[in-house]
Structure 1
């Protein structure tokens, strides 16, 4: 079965990568789908985020990286995926994700949402926290891969 792991991944964190690695064992193919969200101002371009994820997942054979805009369920249908994959860090994530799962089910009954809990040691990581720490010059080496850390620091210096 094909699973879609949608998100902004701005930037991809070790938490995201843990979920990708674990889901690659559960599903025949996992498509990490970077959402083009017109309501957000991303730190990295869509092309850069796709490239970053490709670099970080190059060693996982059944991972594909793509980008999309519009409804996630329509993208999943186009890719013939039967599962939307979502990560849960804290209880507030669950409330929001459950609501989205119900909405998606009303849009396409054949697509299921599967929730994976993050590993405890990674549950505090979010892309926004990583960006904030980097902006203030703090170390993010324990939160993202080295190539992502370099990209973040370089982007901050150039702004």
Structure 2
């Protein structure tokens, strides 16, 4: 079965990578769908985000990368996907993601959302936290892969 893992990935974190790798043990193929959200201001361009995600999964043959703009369910319908994977860190995540799962199901009855709880060591981690720590001079070694940290350094200099 194929599944989709959508997100902004600005930047991709070790938490994202962990969820996707764990999910790939249960699904034949996972498309990591790097999205454009017109309400967000991104540090990295869509193509830069895509490239960073691709590099993160170069050794996992079950993971494919794509980009999209618009409703997730439209993308799913167009590509014949039914399964959505979402990582959960906190109860707040669950409340939001449960509402999104119900909305997606309402818009596309074939959509099923599978929740995977984050590892404890990533339960606080988000792209926003990474950017905040980075801009304030903190260490990112446990939060993002080396190639993402290098891209951050190049972007900010």
Normalising by structure 2, we get a TM-score of 0.98
Note the 1:2-81 alignment, pairs <5 A.
2-81=2-81
Query: Secondary structure of 2:59's match?
Result: coil
Distance 1:79 1:9 in 2: 21
- Name the residue aligned to 1:149: 149
Normalising by structure 1, we get a TM-score of 0.97
Query: Secondary structure of 1:35's match?
Result: strand
- Name the residue aligned to 1:92: 92
**TM superposition shift of 1:143:** 0.2
Deviations 1:39-67 (A, max 9, x none): 11101000001000110100000111010
Task: Give 4+ residue runs of structure 1 displaced > 3 Å after superposition.
Answer: none
Q: Which runs of 5+ in 1 are unaligned?
A: none
**TM superposition shift of 1:141:** 1.0
Query: Secondary structure of 2:20's match?
Result: helix
Distance 1:87 1:66 in 2: 19
Q: Which runs of 5+ in 2 are unaligned?
A: none
Distance 1:134 1:156 in 2: 10
Distance 1:78 1:120 in 2: 35
- Name the residue aligned to 2:105: 105
Distance 2:156 2:91 in 1: 32
Equivalenced residue count is 157
- Name the residue aligned to 2:118: 118
Q: CA RMSD in A?
A: 0.7
8 Å Cα contact 1:134/1:153 also seen in 2: no
